[in-house]
Amino acid sequence: MVKIAVIGYGVVGSGTVEVFYKNLESIEKKIGESIDIKYILDLRDFTGTPYDEKFIKTFDPIINDGEITVVAEVIGGINPAYQYVKSLLEAGKSVVTSNKELVAEKGAELLRIARDKKVNFFFEASVGGGIPIIRPLHHCLSANEIDEIAGILNGTTNFILTKMISEGMAFHKALSLAQELGYAERDPSADVDGHDACRKICILASLAFGKHIYPRDVHTEGISMITAEDVQYCDDFGSRIKLIGWASKRDDKAAVMVCPAFISESSQLAGVNDVFNAILVRGDATGDVMFYGKGAGKLPTASAVVSDIIMAAKMNDNSRSLYWDDSEQPFVLDRNEIDNRFYLRLICENKYETLKQAEKMWGRLVLLHRNGEEENELAFVTESINEKKFENDCALISDTAEIKGKIRVLGY
């Protein structure tokens, strides 16, 4: 009999308990023995659930109970999740988590403890909700060198961008709608400013490249500056604006970034709409492989937690393989070592003078047009150009033109 504990009875926690008991018979068949939840830890009072007698309000019974071999941490955030998970692993218990912040900030350290203690630390639910990505990325692509990962990793921003593109909604109106529908928090900054997507690309890239990538090292831009005009120009370029988290291996370093980007309509990523997520993985042998599905939500995320519980219960000792090293040297490239194409929208004092200046600095430009274009408006896409040089050039150009839109053009 395997005994487990669930820490946190919020959205994901209650979903985890629900999915666990709903599928208990097939779960036990897969594990090959019986399994039950012994404790559910939450500070709040829950009565009238079928699990009333399992609720506890302190951590001690879990850490001190030798019967407990697997714990699901589904409270989110760094504190107290970090202290809980660390002491559980040190006590020789396997931990599964949906906590992307914890894995993105503390993954290397927690994976090292798990390895030392020969227990498992799994986090399938931390990226892509119910989309299987962590385990496929690691196991099934284990015969590949992974060169690049690019994903639509945040459903809230993808919903907002979809409304802006398909219905011409302004950003703030689309955000309000997302809040009304429960897709966005009252404080939407973690989603809208790209931090949520950043944590997820950090986890994926750490796993793919074998070294921890910290969110603080990743240049992250959100979508709040995107306008209806940008959407129109993007359409003229045969593309769609998506918030992309991407990571690309460059020799012994990695280029990693989160930014809104023009994505060609012919790309599979361009067709990913509403709250759906998708992750494109480019391997040297497989070529492009994409994983698609709902990236959030109670039951999808809970099902990923439960599948990790099954794996952790089945494999008593550490699988050795799900692992990355800490990175002491800066592993992420600085922006002045990264080139990208850019879309730029300008309101100029003298349109043709600005165009002349732009072509002198950046060479060949693809000029773009939109319905209702202003007389002194100029929009174009550059060739690939060094990010730092482009920043400096933009400072020069803004002497005689106001920069109204600036978005990268990515080739995924």
Q: Which residues bind a second copy (CB under 8 A)?
A: 19-20, 23, 26-27, 30, 32, 124, 129-132, 135-136, 139-145, 268, 271-272, 283-294, 297, 299-300, 302-307, 309-311, 314, 319-321
Closer residue to a second copy in complex, CB, 307/357: 307
The DSSP symbol for 275 reads T
Residue 281 pairs in a beta bridge with 149, 289
Q: Which two tokens stand for residue 7?
A: 């820490």
Closer residue to a second copy in complex, CB, 64/321: 321
Rounded distance between C-alpha atoms, residue 201 and residue 248, angstroms: 11
Residue 347 pairs in a beta bridge with 377, 402
Of 93, 117, 163, 200, which one is the catalytic site residue?
200
* Rounded least distance, CB 269 to a second copy, Å: 10
* Rounded least distance, CB 289 to a second copy, Å: 4
Closer residue to a second copy in complex, CB, 63/299: 299
Phi-psi domain of 211 (left: phi exceeds 0; alpha: psi -120 through 50; beta: other):
beta
Burial of 135 by CB count in 10 Å (0-12 exposed, 13-18 middle, 19+ buried)?
middle
One-letter amino acid at 335 equals R
Q: Which two tokens stand for residue 311?
A: 């794996």
- Residue 112: how many other CB atoms lie within 10 Å: 16
CB 345 within 8 A of CB 379: yes
One-letter amino acid at 379 equals A
SS3 199: helix
Helix (H), strand (E) counts: the chain? 14, 17
Closer residue to a second copy in complex, CB, 122/390: 122
Closer residue to a second copy in complex, CB, 32/77: 32
Rounded distance between C-alpha atoms, residue 189 and residue 236, angstroms: 30
* Rounded least distance, CB 137 to a second copy, Å: 8
Side-chain half-sphere CA neighbours of 10 within 13 A: 13
Q: How far is it between the farthest Cα atoms of the chain?
A: 77
CB 243 within 8 A of CB 157: yes
* Rounded least distance, CB 33 to a second copy, Å: 10
* Rounded least distance, CB 286 to a second copy, Å: 3
Closer residue to a second copy in complex, CB, 311/346: 311
Phi-psi domain of 287 (left: phi exceeds 0; alpha: psi -120 through 50; beta: other):
left
Q: Which two tokens stand for residue 67?
A: 């019967």
* Rounded least distance, CB 158 to a second copy, Å: 14
Closer residue to a second copy in complex, CB, 149/381: 149
Which residue in 88, 75, 78 sits closest to 120, CA to CA? 88
CB 181 within 8 A of CB 160: no
* Rounded least distance, CB 41 to a second copy, Å: 21
Closer residue to a second copy in complex, CB, 138/173: 138
* Rounded least distance, CB 22 to a second copy, Å: 8
Which residue in 213, 199, 209 sits closest to 146, CA to CA? 209
200 is catalytic: yes
Rounded distance between C-alpha atoms, residue 232 and residue 166, angstroms: 11
One-letter amino acid at 121 equals F
Just list the catalytic residues.
200
